[in-house]
Structure 1
Amino acid sequence: MNTSDKKIMIIENDEMTIEILKFLLKKEGYKISIAKDGINAVERIPIILPDLVITTIIIPLKSGLEIINYIKENFKGMAVIALSSLGEEENTVEEAFKLGVDDFITKPFNPTELLLRIKRFL
Structure 2
Amino acid sequence: MKGKRIVLAEDNSVLSLVLKLRLKKEGYKIFIAPNGKEAITLIDKHKPDLILTDVMMEFVSGLELVSYVRNELKIPTPILVFSSSGQEEMILNAFKLGANDFMSKPLIPNELVVRVKMLLLKVH
Bigger drift between 109-118 and 97-106 goes to 109-118
Segments of structure 2 that go 5 or more residues without pairing to the other structure are none
Segments of structure 1 that go 5 or more residues without pairing to the other structure are none
Instruction: Kindly tell me the number of residue pairs found equivalent between the two proteins.
Output: 119
Question: Take 2:74 and 2:16, find their aligned partners in 1: how far apart are those partners?
Answer: 24
1:4-83, aligned counterparts within 5 Å? 4=3, 6-73=4-71, 74-83=73-82
SS in structure 2 of the partner of residue 61 of structure 1 = coil
Question: Take 1:89 and 1:48, find their aligned partners in 2: how far apart are those partners?
Answer: 31
Question: Take 1:23 and 1:91, find their aligned partners in 2: how far apart are those partners?
Answer: 32
Q: Residue in 2 aligned with 1:111? A: 109
Percent of aligned pairs sharing the same letter: 38
Provide runs of 4+ in structure 1 moved above 3 Å.
none
Alignment check: 8 A CA contact 2:9 2:34 kept: yes
What RMSD, in angstroms, separates the aligned Cα atoms of the two structures?
Answer: 1.2
Question: Take 1:111 and 1:37, find their aligned partners in 2: how far apart are those partners?
Answer: 20
SS in structure 1 of the partner of residue 107 of structure 2 = coil
SS in structure 1 of the partner of residue 82 of structure 2 = strand
